[in-house]
Amino acid sequence: MKFWDLLYPPRCPLCGEILSLKEGKVHQACYRKLLRVREPLCKRCGKPLTPGAGEQREWCMDCLRSRHRHGKSFDQGRVLWLYSGDIQKSILDYKYKGMKSYTDFYAEEAVNRWGRWIRSKNPQMLIPVPLHPRKKRIRGYNQAELLAKSIGKRMEIPVGTDVLYRKRWTEPQKAVSGQERRHNLAKSMEIRHLPENLRRVLLIDDIYTTGSTMEACAGILKKNGVEEVCFLALCIGYGNG
Ligand SMILES: [Zn+2]
Ligand SMILES: [Zn+2]
Q: Which ligand does the CA of 89 lie closest to?
A: 1
Residue 35 C-alpha to ligand 1 middle, in angstroms?
A: 14
Residue 201 C-alpha to ligand 1 middle, in angstroms?
A: 34
Residues 6+ apart with CB under 8 A from 17: 11, 27
The pLDDT assigned to 68 comes to: 85
Residue 190 C-alpha to ligand 2 middle, in angstroms?
A: 25
136-159 residue pLDDT tens: 888 899 999 999 999 999 999 999
Residue 12 C-alpha to ligand 1 middle, in angstroms?
A: 5
pLDDT average, residue stretch 185-204? 93
The pLDDT assigned to 240 comes to: 45
Q: Which ligand does the CA of 27 lie closest to?
A: 1
Q: Are 232 and 203 in contact (CB under 8 A)?
A: yes
- Count CB neighbours of 158 within 10 A: 12
117-137 residue pLDDT tens: 999 999 999 999 999 888 888
pLDDT average, residue stretch 10-38? 94
Residue 67 C-alpha to ligand 2 middle, in angstroms?
A: 10
What amino acid occupies position 73? S
Ranking 91-95, 150-154, 202-206, 236-240 by mean pLDDT, the lowest is 236-240
Residue 20 C-alpha to ligand 1 middle, in angstroms?
A: 11
Tell whether the model's pLDDT for residue 80 goes beyond 90: yes
The pLDDT assigned to 241 comes to: 41
H/E/C letters for each residue in 83-136? CCCHHHHHHHHHHHCCCHHHHHHHHHHHHHHHHHHHHHHCCCEEEECCCCHHHH
Residue 227 C-alpha to ligand 2 middle, in angstroms?
A: 20
Residue spans per domain, the chain: 34-236
The residue with greater pLDDT, 120 or 240, is 120
The residue with greater pLDDT, 21 or 128, is 128
pLDDT average, residue stretch 160-189? 78
Q: Which CATH class is domain 34-236?
A: alpha beta
pLDDT average, residue stretch 9-19? 93
Q: For the chain, give the mean pLDDT.
A: 89
What strand order describes the sheet that includes 76-82? Answer: 76-82, 228-236, 200-208, 125-128
